Amino acid sequence: MKSTTVLEKTIATLEKELKTLKELKTATPKEPTQKDTLRGIWKDLDITDEEIEEAKKELNF
């Protein structure tokens, strides 16, 4: 069994984030800030604001 590295976990987390951002981009938010933050989705997420903003730019969000 292959052990998962920190980088692999980070990549998997970011891929999950991007998928969720794409879904939120087309969905009607329940709250006005729902589309603007990932903090409300994964409260224990270890991701910087810069990484979130970069993901949003990549998605033209």
Q: What is the pTM of this model?
A: 0.40
Tell me which of 58 and 61 has the higher pLDDT.
58
Query: Predicted confidence band at 61 (pLDDT cuts at 50, 70, 90)?
Result: low
In angstroms, the CA 36 to CA 15 distance is 17
Tell me which of 57 and 4 has the higher pLDDT.
57
Both tokens assigned to 24: 């939120």
Residue-wise pLDDT for 14-55, tens only, equals 888 888 888 777 766 565 555 455 555 666 667 777 887 887
Concatenated DSSP letters for 12-60?
Answer: HHHHHHHHHHHHHHHSPPSSTTGGG-STTT-TT----HHHHHHHHHHTT
Predicted local distance difference test score (pLDDT) of residue 47: 73
Tell me the backbone φ, ψ of residue 60, rounded to 5 degrees: 55, 45
